[in-house]
């Protein structure tokens, strides 16, 4: 079960919700009005270049993922297994605080089993 492909507005909403921010707080952080953010999330308008840069800088968004029409998955390797791809998609669907918790669990397991 993978995540459905998201449009740009849905990705912006996903970023906001994964950081557990309401529209007013998120809009303030990226330098737009709450109304403009609402329009972006609903697909009524596209974010400006400045807004996209703010998303990258303040929320460490991968611009390839943000702007791609498909389910771009960044990787430094030429091959990603279907299991790895599914794991990444599943992790992306978690709220921000649960991603941090999952990372801590993985780090504990790696240390316990003496993995690099």
Do 57 and 93 belong together in one domain? no
Q: Are residues 39 and 13 in the same domain?
A: yes
Range of the domain at 26: 1-70
Residues in the chain: 116
Same domain? 47 vs 96: no
Q: Tell me the C-alpha distance between 91 and 98, whole Å.
A: 9
- Global pTM reads 0.61
CATH code for position 62: 1.10.260.40
Note whether 59 and 111 are same-domain residues.
Answer: no
Question: How many distinct structural domains can be found in the chain?
Answer: 2
pLDDT tens, position by position, 65-111: 888 876 555 544 445 567 777 787 788 888 878 888 888 888 888 88
Mean per-residue pLDDT over the chain, rounded: 83
Q: What crossing angle do the helices spanning 34-42 and 23-30 adopt, rounded to 10°?
A: 100
Q: How far is Cα 82 from Cα 89, in angstroms, rounded to an integer?
A: 10
8 and 56, same domain (yes or no): yes
């Amino acid at each position: 079960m993978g995540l459905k492909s998201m449009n740009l507005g849905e990705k912006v909403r996903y970023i906001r919700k994964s950081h557990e921010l309401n529209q007013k707080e998120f809009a303030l952080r990226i330098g737009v009005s709450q109304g403009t953010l609402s329009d972006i999330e609903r697909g009524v308008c596209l974010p400006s270049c400045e807004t996209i840069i703010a998303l990258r800088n303040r929320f460490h968004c991968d611009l390839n993922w943000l702007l791609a029409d498909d389910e771009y998955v960044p990787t430094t390797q030429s091959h990603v297994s279907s299991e790895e791809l599914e794991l990444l998609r599943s992790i992306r669907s978690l709220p921000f605080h649960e991603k941090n918790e999952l990372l801590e669990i993985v780090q504990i397991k790696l240390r316990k089993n003496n993995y690099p």
